[in-house]
Structure 1
Amino acid sequence: MNQEYIIPNAWSIIEEGWKPSQVKSSESLFSIGNGAMGQRANFEEKYTGETFQGSYVAGVYYPDKTRVGWWKNGYPEYFAKVLNAPNFIGIDVFVDGEELDLATVQEVTDYRLELNMKEGWLERTFIAHFSEEKAIKVIARRFMSLEIDELAVINYKVTAVKGDMRISFQPYVDGGITNEDTNWDDAFWEIEDVVSDGHQGMVRSRTNKTNFYVTTFMQSELLKNGEHVQYADHFDQNNTVVRHKAACDIAQGESVTLRKYAGYVSSLNHNHLTLQSAAKAVLQRATEEGYEKLVKLQADSWAQIWAMADITIDGDLKAQQGIRFNIFQLNQTYLGKDSRLNIGPKGFTGEKYGGSTYWDTEAYCIPFYMATKDQQVARNLLRYRYEQLDKAVENAGKLGFSSGAALYPMVTMNGEESHNEWEITFEEIHRNGAMVFAIYNYVRYTGDYSYIPEMGLEVMIAIAKFWHQRATYSQRAKKYMILGVTGPNEYENNVNNNWYTNYLAKWCINYAVENINKVKADHKADYDRIIAKTELTDQEIGAWKEVADNMHEPFDKELGVYLQQDGFLDKEIIPVSDLPKEHRPINQKWSWDRILRSCYIKQADVLQCFYFFEDHFSKEELAKNFDFYEPLTVHESSLSPCVHSIQAAKLDRMDQAYEFYLRTSRLDLDDYNKEVEEGCHITSMAGTWMSIVEGFGGLQIVDDKPSFTTKLPEQWNSFSFKINFRNQILNVQIAKTGTTITLEGKTPQDVIINGETVTLEPQLVNA
């Protein structure tokens, strides 16, 4: 049974009714961010119930020393972790001296939590009853500014519902914060200074080892019945906390509001010696703009995002809410402004996975950012990997590879591998292929070939060198093998010849050779620079081709399917539908030994290859492989439903496609995996977008043109989306009456609509 407390709404995530058991889940679901920082939806006032405090600054991390019982050569020495940053939202609230705490007040009524995705704010409303004679209503709204991305704004309004009372606020910044997932209980932060300067409070912190400097700041004012009364001024401070205070009396029916401006400035963007003056500059701008203007700027900024990124669904409210939630969280996590940043699987919603970068970015996220933003955003994501190429070469060197071979990390903050499960760190090498596929995907979509001679070819060469060295020649089979790997199906470790990995390796080599020749012909200066840098020879390229041309690809002629790896059919093949319900999920109910021996698949593996290289295989081949592997897939990865939804749509199996879509779009909202309190699945949310655009919309690039093979789920009356294709906007509308595509741009564009090539003329758009 999935949770179902989130109220369906087209533009908001809404919870009604006070249920303490839901607090940690809601802290994840209602998280807010602006690409530069983010936080869980923790309460501003004190809360002594179960909670998971979390605030995060993009790009700031700590290398937590690896903890393993048996060290293996090649293990990374640390796991890079996003840091739980100093808490700036805190506002202790006292009513006639009695502290507000929803865990201890007499009763909580009229509780409502809303995350407004259209305008980008979080609002919590409730009535707290202290006694029969005393009650207050609280409306607390906060947002993280997209316009000023070092600023957050909190508007905390208290109304006397029963009785006259004195309301006292104590806004504070707390630097004494720890991560829940530390390996050794190390202190991640060193607090260097706590400052209370008039009505401004600041905590200056430095990360141990990595030496990131962050100043967390605040400034608060008090308003009574909407009129300014006073600033909150110094009240108390210690080694970790700076606390201010403001108070006033209100009669029954009157209101008092604490308005708090707060946020982070870091040494990522400022000289660490000038952080205090940088914080003051942010506060000055915030107060000059004023609350009402900042609210409007926030709404305007989100309106610009939605104008391009929105997907509308008519006739299915839960599906509409699901896709907007996914699009909203993706934009809260990453906006593409800074090529030093990337997309963690939990974004700013929790600590799991360390906030690090995975292959999810290249495989799932880049298509979303290419199509819904300017292509420079996707280029920044590719640049991120190029700038970490030296570290990828180092990573490969630690495992015994040489001559500039690169192995990109499974998990990273700065390019170094920081994952320490051997079956992932050493074996899940298919991630290298995703790096090259992302380059290919970017070029075919944007038409921007310049990335390859400038940066991409160096990455391809280093990865081709790796595949060449990683392959083993079998004298018996007269084929090259890739032994001892883990494919995308992480429920099988240390297997030989995972088909997806072998196919990727072969393709990567061929694509590298193709582009070496193209750059040599068309970009001679870049070619000479790259060849000198990589010391590449024709002899080495010939050796690569020998590997690619003779790569072993496991295949069963009788079934007509590619085998996930050698020996897969030696397993007992029992469909998931025959598993007793009490055995699910198997990753929580079975021993690892039993999982490894089973035929069950965590997420698309063979079918991941069919997704990447859809034009390499026929629809009949897809059907055979889908029919064989999907019934064995337990979908215990957030990345699984989206790929299967896309492929089911291609096969015209719309019931399955819709079921998988709903699962991926509401994975967190309905808490399918019973883990949402740990954070949301941000990177798989890009897969949700793909389920609609590439699945139901059928988007492909065919003969250098966008092609749409459209399918409409029977539950929907219509749906629409936009894509930015080569700096022109295609507006796609799919209804029961047919598909309509209009063009916003300057030059005609050929598109393929359900097999027919059509030339779209630009429509005039009012500025």
Structure 2
Amino acid sequence: MKNYIKTDEWSIVEEGFDPHLNKISESIFSLGNGHMGQRANFEEAYSGETLQGNYVAGVYYPDKTRVGWWKNGYPEYFAKVLNAANWVGIDVVINGEQLDLAKCKVIAFKRTLNMQHGYLERAFTAQLANGNQVNVNAKRFCSIVDEEAAAIRYAITPLNFSGEIKFTAFIDGDVSNADANYDEKFWDHVYHQVSGNDNYLTLKTRKTNFEVCTGSRFAVTQGGKALAVEAKGFEKEKYTASSFVTSATQGQETVVYKYACNVSSQNYEPQQLLAACKSVIERVAAKGFETMLAEQADAWLKKWAESDIVITGDASAQQGIRFNIFQLSQTYSGKDARLNIGPKGFTGEKYGGSTYWDTEAYCVPFYLATAPQQVTKNLLIYRYKQLDKAIENAAKLGFDKGAALYPMVTMNGEECHNEWEITFEEIHRNGAIAYAIFNYIRYTGDKDYLNDYGLEVLIGITRFWKQRVNWSNAKKQYVMLGVTGPNEYENNINNNWYTSTLATWCMEYTIEALAYVKANDADKYQTLLGRLNFNEAEETATWQHIISNMYYGEDKELGIYLQQDNFLDKEIIHVKDLPAASRPLNQKWSWDRILRSCFIKQADVLQGFYFFKDKFDTDTLRRNYNFYEPLTVHESSLSPCIHAILASRLGLEEDAYNFYLRTSRLDLDDYNNDTEDGLHITSMAGTWMSVVEGFAGMHVADDTLKFEPFLPGKWQSFSFNIGFRQNMLNVKIVANGVHIVNVSGGDITVNIFGKDVIIMAGAEAFAAQ
């Protein structure tokens, strides 16, 4: 665990430059706006260890899967988000020597991510080998007002000399991915143009044929006044640049403003890209950096008004939750139903930037409560539009009659995961997608979603479950064989309780959804059944038989559900009794040893208790928590948040708080020693869940928003805003109870500590704990 980030409630601050931490910082200080993003790579040259990353949403490459064997149904490629053209580059040469912090003496260094206003600032003093000392202040942001644009203010001041500085503002498209097979590059050159202070470069991806035009324009001031410079253009394949030389006087600041833009063929015809890029550059350059920055600050303040969590009395916890909310907000805007949320967002290449079940299980609750309803709806429509591909994916594995298996990993609906035990067996992702439909409707009340989109998806998923189970003559029940549950430290197991529970719940919910649509839109119902060749009586009778006769592993003596049939055959050792040298297991143990052990990567049985709160009493939860949590190594970023919520339900306040700290500061403190390859964006939504669903005990039941809160011992109070069914509530938990202010125009009934409370429009209610 690292502890070099300074504690600040609204900023992420790094003081001093340690090159060994640079890749971690490049992740932590990443920027994005839902359309594009980039790691915190330096503007000037850096020859030290770095992971370059600039990304354009939705642009990917189907990299050939590399395996030494092949099985029928195996994905042919692993989709990956592409490192796109580097637009931040400003090369600096001072009196003939290149500015490079890997070769300079760094006298002072400070990097600040201003989360309140949405920008990154870096200030340093460096001494070059020739003895020249300079101060540099670089500020940049990806605009959430002009989502195709970004801007940089790069200021340099000579401290002990006067001389000549050469600046080269460039766009470099000759880039590669760190995880590319055989160092293959994925972009082909299409077009470039250099004209004075403007640079434009259009690239096309191989195979997928996405085209992206990246443009930039620079302007210069010296001593606070505009400076006309004569730029010299330079161009080659996949690279354009404009250079100029200026005299620099000791103590005088020279500022280079760089305006940049990325437009893609997802939103424009290829022949329109250059004109579109130029139009954006013209517009933002006319505004100027300071105006753009002010607009950025205003837009972020509006975002924070919707989504902020305010914690008093614990600055570290406050910083952690705001960092997580900030990264979520700049990763996904919800404006485009073709886009989804990669586990690393715009901060790294790992996991390919693809869609996982993380979105439905972890991100949906955050966006439901903190964003307009359409944002979450677009996440669901993303899956609806890929239903045909899910049916194709199931067919490749031998399923038929409209059975749908959504992919574990995808960009376009096709499965593209490259590990067989997950591709074929981790099928609980189907259930997470169905649960997200249920969760969306439960929270918003938008039951029409079933008529328009949801029911068709549910039928496809339930048809899959029907074929995936089989009747066991030995047990005289239905069983589900050869699966991998959320605990990926077990593969090819039988009767994973969580997967089986999800499967029958999906069947039950689909039967309910059929009845609802039939009663409320009979014409659409009949049309859908005809198109799907759905025999209502026959199919629902089969589902009901499976529901009534499903096998679930259970140990009645321990009072627990079995994670899988043979779990208790393992040697049961608690994590606390493992030698420290064995952790993390995934880096220290062989895979064979892990698979045979009792150790659990993340919530598995307990994931089911999180989803289905109202199905199990507290004693049952307690027995299962007390058995499984001590065996859990939490080596998935998705694990601590679920345990924080369940610990909160059980009144285990210390456990809940410790799990919250781990999830909220997972990347800031590099808990798992893997932040350098990108942040854990989807688990950041779990941080929000830990506070709102955990400490505040918020959930929805019987169409009512309910709260069962407690205040962590180290906090004086915490508060947040919640959007619920066109209402906005401000919730504040204090030592003796909870205050809820209804800032909406209508009355609302909420349930606090088990009692219904009517809160009039504009009024406040208080409930004592």
TM-score by length of 1: 0.98
How do residues 107-186 of structure 1 correspond to structure 2 at under 5 angstroms?
107-130=105-128, 134-186=132-184
Q: In the TM superposition, what are the counterparts of 1:440-455 in structure 2 within 5 Å?
A: 440-455=438-453
Q: Are residues 644 and 196 of structure 1, via their aligned partners in 2, closer, same or farther at CA, if it must alter by over 3 Å? A: same
CA deviation map 1:415-467 (0-9, x unaligned): 00000211000000000000100000000100111111100000000001000
Pairing 1:54-133 to 2, within 5 Å after superposition? 54-105=53-104, 107-130=105-128
| 2:663 is the alignment partner of 1:697 | no
Structure 1 position 197, deviation (Å): 2.4
> How far apart are the structure 2 equivalents of 1:582 and 1:571?
22
Q: Deviations over 1:638-694 (max 9, x none)?
A: 000000000001111100000000000000000010011000000000000000000
- Tell me how far 1:764 sits from its aligned partner: 7.8
State whether residues 158 and 252 of structure 2, in contact with CA within 8 Å, keep that contact through their aligned partners in structure 1.
Answer: yes
Query: Could you tell me whether the CA contact under 8 Å between 2:263 and 2:276 is conserved in 1?
Result: yes
Deviates more, 1:598-607 or 1:735-744: 735-744
- Give me the whole-angstrom Cα distance separating, in 1, the residues matched to 2:763 and 2:30: 39
Corresponding residue of 1:610: 609
Q: Which residue of 2 aligns with 1:757?
A: 756
- For 2:232 and 2:397, how far apart are their aligned partners in 1? 55
Q: Distance in 2 between matches of 1:352 and 1:234?
A: 38
- The 3-state SS of whatever aligns with 1:59 is coil
Alignment of 1:182-193 (within 5 A): 182-193=180-191
Structure 1 partner of 2:767: none
Q: d(CA) in 1 for partners of 2:130 and 2:114?
A: 33
Partner of 1:578: 577
* Residue 479 of structure 1 pairs with residue 477 of structure 2: yes
Q: In structure 1, what is the equivalent of residue 489 of structure 2?
A: 491
Q: Distance in 2 between matches of 1:344 and 1:233?
A: 40
Does structure 1 retain, via aligned residues, the 8 Å contact 2:103–2:128?
no
2:513 to 512, 515, 518: 515
Distance (whole Å) between structure 1 residues aligned to residue 680 and residue 534 of structure 2: 41
Aligned residue in 2 for 1:37: 36
Corresponding residue of 1:390: 388
Tell me if the contact between 1:329 and 1:682 (Cα under 8 Å) persists in the aligned partners: yes
Q: Is the 8 A contact 1:554 1:564 kept in 2?
A: yes
Contact 1:334–1:342 under 8 Å retained in 2: yes
> Residues 500-539 of structure 1 correspond to what in structure 2 (within 5 A)?
500-537=498-535, 538-539=537-538
Distance 1:445 1:311 in 2: 20
CA distance in 2, matches of 1:433, 1:343: 18
Alignment of 1:183-582 (within 5 A): 183-230=181-228, 233-537=231-535, 538-582=537-581
Deviation at 1:247, TM superposition (A): 2.5
Q: Tell me, yes or no, if the aligned pair for 1:220 and 1:231 is still in contact at 8 Å.
A: no
- Residues 196, 234 of structure 1: 8 Å contact kept: no
The structural deviation recorded for 1:555 is 0.7
Question: Using the alignment, how far apart are the partners of 1:728 and 1:288 within structure 2?
Answer: 39
CA distance in 2, matches of 1:231, 1:268: 36
Give how far 1:530 is off.
1.2
Alignment of structure 1 residues 632-647 onto 2, 5 Å: 632-647=631-646
| Cα pair distance change 1:43/1:748, threshold 3 Å | same
* Structure 1 residue 133 displacement after superposition: 5.1
User: Is the 2:118–2:297 Cα contact (8 Å) retained in structure 1?
Assistant: yes
Query: Residue 312 of structure 2 contacts residue 717 of structure 2 at CA under 8 Å; is this kept in 1?
Result: yes
The CA distance in 2 between the partners of 1:145 and 1:684, in whole Å, is 24
Cα 1:667–1:580 change in 2 (3 A) is: same
2:622 partner amino acid? A
Compute the displacement of 1:162 (Å).
1.1
The answer on whether the counterparts of 2:217 and 2:285 sit within 8 Å (CA) in structure 1 is no
Task: Name the counterpart of 2:621.
Answer: 622
Please tell me whether the aligned partners of residues 392 and 409 of structure 1 are also in contact (alpha carbons under 8 angstroms): yes
Letter in 1 for 2:369: A
Amino acid at match of 2:344: K
Amino acid in structure 2 at the alignment position of 1:427: E
Task: Quote the offset at 1:132 in angstroms.
Answer: 7.8
SS in 2 for 1:162: coil
- Quote the Cα distance in structure 1 between the aligned partners of 2:85 and 2:132: 34
What SS does structure 1 have at the residue aligned with 2:5?
Answer: coil
**Structure 2 unaligned runs (5+)?**
765-769
Aligned equivalents of 2:325, 2:162: Cα separation in 1: 45
Superposition RMSD in Å = 1.1
Count the aligned residue pairs: 763
- Offset at 1:10? 0.3
Q: Taking structure 1 as reference, are residues 736 and 719 closer, same or farther at Cα in structure 2, changes over 3 Å only? A: same
Aligned-pair CA distance for 1:229:
0.6
SS at match of 1:464: helix
- Greater shift after overlay, 583-592 or 228-237? 228-237
1:168 partner amino acid: K
Partner of 1:17: 16
1:198, CA displacement in angstroms?
A: 2.9
C-alpha displacement of 1:235: 2.7
